[in-house]
């Protein structure tokens, strides 16, 4: 049988085998949700510090396939000095306290391709509040906003991105791929399975012509883990 090496091993159907209904446990003990006033204060600070010209947002994960924000335009770009890494420990959303998940973030070193979205300028504080609420789930945060340098077709620019803070309570560090695959093939929360997040992210990266080597290897490893747990799927 001929194997298509460009076909994803982790399909939507395979990831769906991990989906299950889990209650939302809420923030971890010792953390809490941000208030609306705190989100607005953070948003005002970042709007005040934004570079001149259009505001750009670098998307590297679910912001590509589910941005949930208004945008004016987008273009391919490469984040300089940052790479994708499943380095955030999640005990809600796509994991539980009993079976945590790992979430994608930008971690220091290397580079990665993604999209930059141009954000509307009509109400920048409201746009920033929406982004903060989408990306930051608890105080103290580990996924934090900052301005990074990206290369968009040879043009360097500053873009807002959400990156991992190594001093944050949810930072898991750089784990072996096999461990990340084992966790991702089993974790699910009230937002769905971690495998579904990975499958959708890699699928959308491929559609835009971005082959992230680490994520490509990871999706194949997660598929093998799921096949091992569900032997009847191996020949489908």
Which pair of structure tokens corresponds to residue 30? 């010792």
Residue 91: how many other CB atoms lie within 10 Å: 21
Only one residue has tokens 């990156």, namely: 163
Half-sphere exposure of 123 (CA within 13 A, CB side): 8
DSSP for 128-185, please give it: HHHHHHHH--SBS-SEEEEEEEEEETTEEEEEEEEEE-TTSTTB-----HHHHHHHHT
Give CA–CA dist 39/234, Å, rounded. 47
Of the residues 28, 135, 203, 206, which is catalytic? 135
Query: Is-catalytic flag, 135?
Result: yes
Positions annotated as catalytic residues are 135
């Amino acid at each position: 049988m001929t194997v298509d090496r460009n076909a994803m091993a982790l399909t939507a159907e395979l990831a769906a085998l991990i989906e299950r209904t889990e209650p939302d446990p809420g923030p971890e003990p010792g953390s809490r949700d941000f208030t609306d006033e705190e989100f607005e204060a953070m948003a005002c600070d970042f709007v005040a510090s934004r570079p001149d010209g259009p505001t750009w947002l670098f998307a590297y994960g679910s912001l590509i396939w589910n941005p949930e924000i208004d945008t004016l335009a987008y273009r391919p770009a490469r984040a300089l000095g940052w790479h994708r890494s499943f380095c955030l420990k999640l005990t809600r959303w796509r994991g539980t306290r009993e079976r945590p998940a790992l979430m994608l973030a930008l971690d220091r070193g290397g580079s990665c391709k993604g999209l930059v979205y141009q954000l509307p300028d009509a109400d920048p504080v409201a746009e920033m509040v929406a982004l903060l609420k989408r990306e930051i789930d608890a105080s103290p945060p580990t996924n934090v906003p900052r301005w990074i340098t990206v290369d968009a077709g040879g043009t360097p620019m500053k873009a807002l991105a959400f990156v991992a803070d190594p001093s944050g309570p949810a930072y898991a560090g750089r784990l072996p791929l096999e461990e990340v695959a084992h966790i991702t093939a089993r974790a699910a929360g009230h937002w769905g399975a971690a495998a579904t997040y990975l499958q959708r992210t890699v699928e959308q990266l491929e559609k835009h012509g971005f082959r992230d080597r680490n994520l490509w290897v990871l999706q194949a490893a997660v598929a093998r883990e799921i096949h091992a747990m569900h032997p009847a799927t191996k020949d489908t």
